[in-house]
Structure 1
Amino acid sequence: MRIIIRYFFRTLRLVLTPFMLLNEKLSTPKSMTRTPDEQARADLASKQLALYQFSACPFCIKVRKEIARLGLNIETRDAQHDQQHRSDLEAGGGHIKVPCLRIKREDGSEQWLYESGDIKAWLQKRFETA
């Protein structure tokens, strides 16, 4: 019975994934406008960030939409299909859970921020202009 349930959910994921990705593409908001200097500062700060994610994860989609809305160029790392990124996430963050934002600080230390709501709040506090 357990194997039937497992295959049912795998099949359901395979069927729903294209629709979730299409919905993300169609509903992603336009990015906020910044002056060229502000955008350059945001791009520089974004280089210190990396989002570990799965492509069809609804919580990851939520974070990617916020990244697009804020007009950020944050590297996304596929922790589902890329074994190196998966290993880095487990070694740095402590466990394999997405979405996870890796924040590299100026002193060289790293912070691993989990939970889509926390990531969105941190990005808004850090990058949203008043």
Structure 2
Amino acid sequence: MASIELYELQGCPFCTKVKSKLDELGLEYDSHMVPSSHAERTEVEEISGQTEVPMIVDPNHGVEGMSESDDIVEYLEETYGSAA
């Protein structure tokens, strides 16, 4: 079972960027599609305090709601990539 959870929006280029990095690193993850309306993203808001996606949760490393695609990609590379 995957430990990383990705909250994403269909067709979101920033979400695609994060998914590409997850796939590149061979990481398993659970994807959660969120509603397009920010007001309906209650699950994302409960986890991270905001409604932006992409957003990841990685309980193995204490990450509880990281957003911003560039930050996520950097985190994944540093934590799971060749630099790890």
* 1:60 and 2:43 correspond: no
CA–CA distance in structure 2, aligned partners of residues 102 and 86 of structure 1: 15
**What root-mean-square deviation, in Å, do the aligned CA atoms of Structure 1 and Structure 2 show?**
2.3
The structure with the largest helix share of the pair is 1
Q: How far 1:80 moved relative to its partner?
A: 2.0
Residue 67 of structure 2 corresponds to: 114
Q: Which blocks of at least 5 consecutive residues in structure 1 are unaligned?
A: 1-43
Q: How far 1:100 moved relative to its partner?
A: 0.5
**Runs of 4+ with deviation above 2 angstroms:** none
CA–CA distance in structure 2, aligned partners of residues 110 and 128 of structure 1: 17
May I ask how many residue pairs the two structures share in their alignment?
Answer: 80
Is the 8 Å Cα contact of residues 70 and 128 (structure 1) preserved in structure 2?
A: yes
User: Residue deviations 1:90-120, cap 9 Å, x none?
Assistant: 11111211000112247xx652101000000
Bigger radius of gyration:
1
User: Aligned with 1:55: secondary structure?
Assistant: coil
Residue 82 of structure 2 corresponds to: 129
Residue 99 of structure 1 corresponds to: 54
CA–CA distance in structure 2, aligned partners of residues 66 and 79 of structure 1: 20
Residues 72 and 110 of structure 1, relative CA distance in 2, 3 Å threshold: closer
Q: Which blocks of at least 5 consecutive residues in structure 2 are unaligned?
A: none
